Amino acid sequence: MTNDERRATGDGRLGAYEVLRPTLDTSRIRADFPILAEQVNGRSVVFLDSAASSQKPVQVLQAMDDVYRHAYANVHRGVYTFSEAATERYEQARVKIARFIGAPAAENIVFTRNATEALNLLAYSYGRHFLQPGDEILITELEHHANFVPWQVLAQERGLRLKFIPISPEGRLALDKLDELLTPRTRLLSFAHVSNVLGAITDPRPIIQRAHAIGARVIVDGSQSVPHMPVNVVELDCDFLVFSGHKMLGPTGIGVLYGKRDLLDAMPPFLTGGDMISAVGFDGPRWNDVPLKFEAGTPAFVEAIGLGAAVDYLSALDMSAVRAHERELTAYALERMSEVPGAKIIGPTDPDVRGGVVTFTLDRVHPHDLASLLDREGVAIRAGHHCAQPLHIRLGLSATARASFYIYTEPHEVDALIEAIYKARHALKR
Amino acid sequence: MQDLYREHILDHYENPRHHGTLEHADFTHEESNPLCGDRIRIDVKLGSEGDRYRIAEAAFTGDGCIISQAAASMLLEDVMGKSVDEVEQLEPQHVLDLVGAPLTAARVKCALLGLKVLKTGIKLWKLQRS
């Protein structure tokens, strides 16, 4: 098996080779995250909301600090030393990110603010130019609002039909419905690789193959997969992949759109202005080449450099080991949660097909009350609909509680969660 | 841990005052908090002395967290007999004082949902009359 074959797991399952590999040395990792030494309400923080946004290692903070201290000037402009140094680091970050997801070239990587902006870019640029009234877009019932609302707006504006892959009773995509949902009018399919609520991992490969077979383009929302498992865009053969930097150790304000080169070349710009043109005359502009065509204005290049450092950090750990670590934690958390009377896990309970996201309800305790009480114990979890209201409507729930894990999460933090749940119950006399 | 969910808050949640619906209400209004899905509906019957209207009867139903539901119960208990003009002038702090527990910014919205529903209900009722 080649290195690439080992890395290219689309479905989150690990081959025998990876299972034998030791998982992460969390005590060493935690030493890189100053915030994890903070106290909350007099207790060491137990941070279980990395699916919303991860914490940052000193390596990322230093990479950004170093630019501001030693190499800061606007990129792609000056011919002086600082500008050239900043430009080189910015473009080097693009190369690192391309390698991280197995993209053929750095030009396939467009920097955006986050996955939300990348999806909006696609809806504006691809959707408004390549889709015709009556065309169909297929998304799923479990999508985050970021992969829901742009398509709703586009469908209303352009007279398109928006269709949804339903969820199965066990909380996965009901892919047995895919063939009847894909029609000759289906032009675009967009779905989450890993659900931010159900945790369900969807193997994108068979879906992409079937969509391509009828000539549809496919967007994979990698917001919850790229930070947590090996993802290789060539292996997946997706047309586009989007993800956010802040969920994968990087800073806020930087995200990524990967696209196949011929599609990016054919697409018109999203935002216009400086940096995205090759020339502007009184008769009109000429667009710059991909990817700069999509990066109007001064980009968040310091943040991109920070994301480059985050990718270095994750690559050094090995993404297969990251996945194995989170799989172990998820298995442990699912087991511990099953002991809590009245707790109900939302989504699949097989850790092989579940990312490091454990969403649950507690009988007679509202998730917001639970989250407030857990905070008193220094345990940070998320409560609400997690920007997936349509999914919650389908589940018949107004809100759920969610604990999520990352490279620095340790099993004793799962224990702290369980203990805090019992305490909350007691405080509420439930 | 106990300060937020002190006895009187849990009591209002377990045994909400003025809970239910009213037949022949003068107005009914319902809203939800989109962030967490808390929902409150309030029915109000008014009594009048000349052109001065008072809250004669009020009842709420809803679902959501303890804070949102307990605060609605406390609010209705508090506004009984008050004039609609008085209720319209109520400051958010008044409800927070009724709740009497330290709320973080994210939870203040839960506590104030009932007041928002009641005030909007009065506003719409006034609009309809004019």
Domains recognised in chain A with CATH numbers: 3-56+318-427 (3.90.1150.10), 60-315 (3.40.640.10)
A-chain residues within 8 Å CB-CB of B4?
Answer: 372-373, 376
**Where does residue A69 rank: exposed (0-12), middle (13-18), buried (19+ CB within 10 A)?**
exposed
Split at pLDDT 50, 70, 90, the class of A58 is very high
Q: Looking at chain B, how many residues does it have?
A: 130
**Where does residue A40 rank: exposed (0-12), middle (13-18), buried (19+ CB within 10 A)?**
middle
User: Nearest residue on chain B to A424, judged by CA atoms?
Assistant: B1
Question: pLDDT at position A22, please?
Answer: 55
User: Considering just the CA atoms, what is the radius of gyration of chain A in Å?
Assistant: 22
Question: pLDDT at position A16, please?
Answer: 42
- Told to judge if A387 belongs to the known catalytic residues of this protein, a careful annotator would answer yes
Question: pLDDT at position A284, please?
Answer: 86
Q: Which of A422, A403, A258, A278 is nearest to A332 (CA)?
A: A403
Of the partner residues A377, A383, A427, the one whose CB lies closest to the CB of residue B5: A427
Cα distances (Å, whole numbers) of residue B96 to A404, B42, B70, B114: 32, 19, 11, 12
Taking CB atoms and an 8 Å limit, are A369 and B67 in contact across chains?
Answer: yes
Residue A4: pLDDT above 60? no
Of the partner residues B1, B38, B104, the one whose CB lies closest to the CB of residue A423: B1
Q: Alpha helices, DSSP H only, in A101-247?
A: 115-121, 128-130, 149-158, 178-181, 204-213, 233-236
Taking CB atoms and an 8 Å limit, are B5 and A428 in contact across chains?
Answer: yes
The span from the CA of A410 to the CA of A190, in Å, is 33
Split at pLDDT 50, 70, 90, the class of A11 is low
How is chain B split into domains, by residue range? 7-129
Residue A9: pLDDT above 70? no
Quick one: how far is CA A188 from the chain centroid?
20
Give yes or no for a contact between A249 and A62, defined as CB atoms under 8 angstroms apart: no
Q: What DSSP element (H or E) covers A407?
A: none
Give yes or no for a contact between A112 and A255, defined as CB atoms under 8 angstroms apart: yes
For residue A384, give every residue at least 6 positions away whose Cβ sits within 8 Å of its Cβ, in sequence order, or none.
A367, A368, A399, A400, B35, B36, B37
Q: Alpha helices, DSSP H only, in A33-148?
A: 58-70, 81-100, 115-121, 128-130
Give yes or no for a contact between A244 and A115, defined as CB atoms under 8 angstroms apart: yes
Distance, in angstroms, between A146 CA and closest chain B CA? 15
Split at pLDDT 50, 70, 90, the class of A13 is low
Level-2 CATH architecture, domain B7-129: Alpha-Beta Complex (3.90)
Placement of tokens 């969610």 in the chain: A402
The span from the CA of A138 to the CA of A16, in Å, is 35
What mean pLDDT is reported for chain A? 93
Two structure tokens written together for B38 = 């808390």
Give yes or no for a contact between A404 and A356, defined as CB atoms under 8 angstroms apart: yes
Give yes or no for a contact between A390 and A141, defined as CB atoms under 8 angstroms apart: yes
The span from the CA of A251 to the CA of B11, in Å, is 44
Question: pLDDT at position B106, please?
Answer: 83
Taking CB atoms and an 8 Å limit, are A366 and B10 in contact across chains?
Answer: no
Question: pLDDT at position B37, please?
Answer: 77
Give yes or no for a contact between A190 and A118, defined as CB atoms under 8 angstroms apart: no
The 10 Å Cβ neighbour count of residue A328 is 16
Number of H helices, E strands in chain A: 17, 17
Q: What DSSP element (H or E) covers B49?
A: strand B39-49
With b for 16 or more beta-carbon neighbours within 10 A and e for fewer, the A155-173 pattern comes to: beebebeebbbebeeebbb
User: Nearest residue on chain B to A368, judged by CA atoms?
Assistant: B65
Residue A5: pLDDT above 60? no
Question: Furthest-apart CA pair in chain B: how many Å?
Answer: 49
Which of A52, A263, A331, A387 does the annotation list as catalytic?
A387
Split at pLDDT 50, 70, 90, the class of A129 is very high
ipTM tops 0.90: no
Question: pLDDT at position B4, please?
Answer: 76
